[in-house]
Chain A
Amino acid sequence: MFEIRMAKFGLSMETGTITKWYKHPGDTVKKGDILVQIESEKITNDLQSPVNGFIKVILVNDGESKAVGEIIGYIAETEEELKQENKQETPPTPQDNNIEEKTTKAPIAQPGKRGFVSASPRAKSLARDHSIDLSTVQGTGPEGRIIEKDVLDCIAKHTQTARKEPLSPLRKEIAERLFKSYQSYVLVTNMTKVDMTELLEIKKKLIPDVSVTAILIKCLGGVLLKYPEFNVHFDGSTMEKFSSVNIGVAVDTGRGLIVPVIKRADMLSAAEVNEQLKRLAEYAKKNRLRGEDVEGSHFTITNLGMMRTDMFTPVLNGQEVGILGVGRSVKELVVKDDNSIAIRTMAYFSLSYDHRIIDGALASIFLGGLAEVIENESLLKEVLKI
């Protein structure tokens, strides 16, 4: 027995409407015969038979609709199959048509015992008010009649998917802290594309075990010394200046974002930064960070380079006045000054800063300074001490 299913004629097609059956129960069918014309939102198409046989039964009539993939009829492939008693008038569906059984699976349009959708006036008016399609409601009343309770259950189910769920304590704390913080400063983000090719070359050749983030932390460390206006805490009225550079590194623990701190990043070597970074990240994921591991950050880096993000507007961490967001590295065609073309690996750097005390020009200069180091082989080697 061959199942005639509603065909998917278009990528976005979800339902099809039978415009006209060309074959009827009992008719002989040859491979390639057009069985039925189907209309979807965008197009009308003919469905051809892939088998020889006889039309056994048609389940969906002219003018009726069915979801793509649903069975709309059967072709008996042999004479015996054709003569066979129709044990099942309705196609096997994921949901049992037994009215007594109450399942929580998704309801499917069933015509019920009577062949039309039987619903009490109350059920109909309730369905109308809530824009519920009665053909999607399972009836538990006499003879499969849809009664008020059934429609109410349907409504509840729909709202159940948007059930309220309380946050975990960690998430709650993150959310609250973030909200409070975000309201206390003026966030502006400057973005620029940075040529990462040199950095990646050096990493590959000389320090393959050191992560890009660690390298960037080292670069940041140097630049922050040069532009100490970014290496401060600001509470809205007083600035606290620091002499060393502690860099917070945003880490996704799987349970939420945490920012462990690489202390005195300016003093450490790239390898040491890398070591610390690895350890902190691991501890973070295992929820073994201590209080001092996440305190004392002066400036934060958040690297989304492994993900599908180019530019973004990270928010500041605590009382810091700057945060560097690093986007995806993408190979691009770049036009050089001499109009020659090269393939370079580029990434967006998004510098968010507190505009109350850092103005746009300074931010641009900072970004420029950072980019300069990263894009220059010798400057980079100098910062990395290699």
Chain B
Amino acid sequence: MREITFSEALGEAMLEEMQRDPTIFTYGEDIAKQGGIFGAYKPILGKFQDRILDTPISEEVIFGSALGASLAGMRPVAEFHFADFLFTGMTAVANQIMKFKYMTGGQGKIHLILRGPDGISKSAAAQHSESIETLFMHIPGIKIIVPSTPYDMKGLFKTALKSDDPVICFEHKMLYARKGPVPEEEYYIPFGKADIKKEGKDVTVVSTSRMVHESLKASEQLAKEGIDVEVVDLRTLVPWDKETVLESVKKTHHLVIAHETWRRAGWGAEIAATVQEEAFDYLDGPIMRVGAKNVHIPFSPPLQDFVVPDYKSVINEVRKVLNV
């Protein structure tokens, strides 16, 4: 199978769907000329005049207008430059987009996507390195996709472009250049279906995005010690595939949740609480979570490395849970 990058996979998804659906348009800062700061839109540049727009730096309107455009019949894909800047226009997302359908008793078609890069890179520091997907899981009203591979990126995004609900897509900036197998034929990945990236029998590690790769790296090392890790990639957080996680824990009896966002009150806590509620008798040890330390992402590389989790953090928590 051919291999393309995560970023190319996104571009392909946009291209395919925009060709088929004339109501899809995309806008944001720095996208119309260079195809986005990470070049994800290169495949569509020059192809859809007027449907790729650069905007002023007006986040509340970037996000709020997506709601209006959707209600008036288009399918907007609004880019947030960095996940951190969702806060800049947060009221439009949390108070308008996420609440409109519910407050109006189900009126209107709200098919819109907010998408953009999140997570750490090389010392981008506190305001350009956040992972804040937890907020959008906590507040009801938007679906969340967090692909970890080019295959998942394309399949999930194509589904998002056909969804009749608002979707937010977090693309980890360090994954854009990562290559992976993607079939030539079109395919869609449904929301709410996790992917077991590696089967195992001793401990379940539930993860998303960049931490999936860290978890796989950790499991390679742990395999040398005879520990067989099962890595479950949730792929979507709203909805999340509870069934697959429970089934896995019932098999392995041990659970570690690994995410890059802060450990405290991160979405891992929701998974942990749900699993202990519904699979209590199957747990042979406490559920452990891997997440960033509860401070902001610092600038200096040794500081960033200390704060942000990686495969070593996953190994540590797995050892704790298995008491080895």
A and B touch in the complex (CB under 8 A): yes
For A148, what are the chain B residues with a Cβ–Cβ distance below 8 Å? 253, 284
* Cβ contact within 8 Å between B281 and A124: yes
For B253, the chain A residues whose CB sits under 8 A away are 122, 148
A236 at the interface (CB under 8 A from B): no
Q: Is B174 an interface residue (CB 8 A)?
A: no
Residue A154 at the chain B interface, CB threshold 8 Å? no
Check A369 for interface membership: any CB of B closer than 8 A.
Answer: no
The answer, among A122, A142, A147, for a CB contact under 8 Å with B282, is: A122
Asked if B108 lies at the interface with its beta carbon under 8 angstroms from chain A, I say no
Q: What mask results when residues 258 to 286 of chain B are scored 1 for a CB within 8 Å of chain A, else 0?
A: 00000000000000000000001111110
Q: Tell me how many residues of B have a C-beta within 8 Å of chain A.
A: 8
Residue A142 contacts which of B280, B283, B323 (CB distance < 8 angstroms)?
B323
Query: How would you classify the secondary structure of chain A's contact residues: helix, strand, loop or mixed?
Result: helix
**Quick one: which of A122, A123, A125, A141 contacts B323, CB cutoff 8 A?**
A141
A125 touches B285 (CB 8 A): no
Report B297-324 CB contacts with A as 1/0, cut-off 8 Å: 0000000000000000000000000010
- Identify whether the interface residues of B are mostly helix, strand, loop, or mixed: loop
A121 on the interface (CB 8 Å rule)? yes
User: What separation, in Å, do the CA atoms of A121 and B284 have in the docked complex?
Assistant: 6
CA distance A141 to B282 in the complex (A): 16
Judged by a CB distance under 8 angstroms, whether A120 is at the interface is: yes
**Which residues from chain B contact A125 at a C-beta distance below 8 Å?**
281-282
Q: Do B284 and A120 touch (CB < 8 A)?
A: yes
Q: Given the complex of chains A and B, what is the CA–CA distance between A147 and B286 in angstroms? A: 11
Of A122, A141, A142, the most chain B CB neighbours within 10 A belong to A122
CB distance from B105 to the nearest CB of A (A): 43
Q: How far is the CB of B33 from chain A (nearest CB, A)?
A: 57
The CA-CA distance from A147 to B283 in the complex, in Å, is: 9
Do the beta carbons of A147 and B323 come within 8 Å of each other?
yes
Give bound CA distance, A148 to B251, whole Å. 13
Query: Which parts of A168-199 form the interface with B (CB within 8 Å)?
Result: none
Whole-angstrom distance between the alpha carbons of A105 and B285 in the complex? 26
Contact with B along A115-133 (1 / 0, CB 8 A): 0000011111100000000
| Set of chain B residues within 8 Å of A147, measured between Cβ atoms | 284-285, 323
In A137-173, which residues have CB < 8 Å from any B CB?
141-142, 147-148
Decide if A121 touches B323 in the complex (CB within 8 Å).
no
Which chain B positions have C-beta within 8 A of A123? 284
Which residues on B sit within 8 Å (CB–CB) of A141? 285, 323
Residue ID in chain B nearest A123 by CB atoms: B284
Mark each residue of chain A from 228 to 253: 1 if its CB lies under 8 Å from any CB of chain B, else 0: 00000000000000000000000000
Tell me which of A120, A125, A141 has the highest count of chain B C-beta atoms within 10 A of its own C-beta: A120
* CB of A376 to closest CB in B, whole Å: 78
Q: Which residues of A contact B280 (CB under 8 A)?
A: 121
A122 to B253, CA, bound (A): 7
Q: Name the B residues within 8 Å of A122 (CB-CB).
A: 253, 281-284
Chain B 11-27 interface mask (CB, 8 Å, partner A; 1/0): 00000000000000000
CB of A256 to closest CB in B, whole Å: 46
A-B contacts, 25 of them at CB < 8 A, read A120-B283, A120-B284, A120-B285, A121-B280, A121-B281, A121-B282, A121-B283, A121-B284, A122-B253, A122-B281, A122-B282, A122-B283, A122-B284, A123-B284, A124-B281, A125-B281, A125-B282, A141-B285, A141-B323, A142-B323, A147-B284, A147-B285, A147-B323, A148-B253, A148-B284
Which residues in B have some Cβ–Cβ distance to A below 8 Å?
Answer: 253, 280-285, 323
Q: Which 10 A-B pairs have the closest CB atoms?
A: A125-B281, A122-B284, A148-B284, A120-B284, A121-B283, A121-B281, A121-B280, A122-B253, A147-B284, A141-B323
